[in-house]
Amino acid sequence: MTENSPSSSEPSHESDGERAAPITAIPASAPASASAEAEAAPTPARVPLPGWAWALIAVAVVVFLASAATTTIIVTSALASAGSYECDEFGECSGSDATKARPEPTSSGSDRPAVDVHVPLDRSAVFDGQPVWSIAPGATWQPTTFDRPGIKVLQDEATGCQLATTQRLALPDPDVSDDFDGSYAVLVREFSAFLEEDPHAQLHDPGLLDIAIAEVGSDSTIEFASVTISHINPDGVAQITELAARSMLGSESELVARLTCDAPVHNAFAAQFEVFSEVLSVTTTP
* Domain assignment of residue 139, yes or no: yes
Distances (CA, A) of 158 to 76, 138, 155, 259: 39, 11, 9, 14
* Domain assignment of residue 90, yes or no: no
pLDDT recorded at residue 138: 87
User: What mean pLDDT comes out for the span 12-25?
Assistant: 45
Distance between CA atoms of residues 284 and 213, nearest Å = 9
| Residues 213-259: tens digit of each pLDDT | 989 999 999 999 999 999 999 999 999 999 999 999 888 899 999 99
Higher pLDDT, 210 or 25: 210
Structurally, the chain folds into a number of domains equal to 1
Distance between CA atoms of residues 196 and 209, nearest Å = 26
* Domain assignment of residue 105, yes or no: no
Distance between CA atoms of residues 221 and 182, nearest Å = 19
* Domain assignment of residue 103, yes or no: no
Confidence category of residue 115, pLDDT binned at 50, 70, 90: low
Distance between CA atoms of residues 286 and 216, nearest Å = 20
User: What mean pLDDT comes out for the span 189-213?
Assistant: 93
Q: What is the CATH number of the domain that holds 228?
A: 3.40.1000.10
Distance between CA atoms of residues 24 and 22, nearest Å = 6
Higher pLDDT, 16 or 149: 149
* Domain assignment of residue 89, yes or no: no
Confidence category of residue 203, pLDDT binned at 50, 70, 90: very high
* Domain assignment of residue 82, yes or no: no
Distance between CA atoms of residues 83 and 35, nearest Å = 33
User: What mean pLDDT comes out for the span 100-125?
Assistant: 58
67: domain range?
40-71+118-285
Residue 60's Cα: distance from chain center in Å? 14
pLDDT recorded at residue 90: 32
Confidence category of residue 98, pLDDT binned at 50, 70, 90: very low
E strand or H helix at 185, and its extent? helix 179-197
Query: Of 21-25, 95-99, 148-152, 160-164, which gets the smallest average pLDDT?
Result: 95-99
Q: Across-strand partners of 255?
A: 167, 246
* Domain assignment of residue 145, yes or no: yes
* Domain assignment of residue 54, yes or no: yes
pLDDT recorded at residue 199: 94
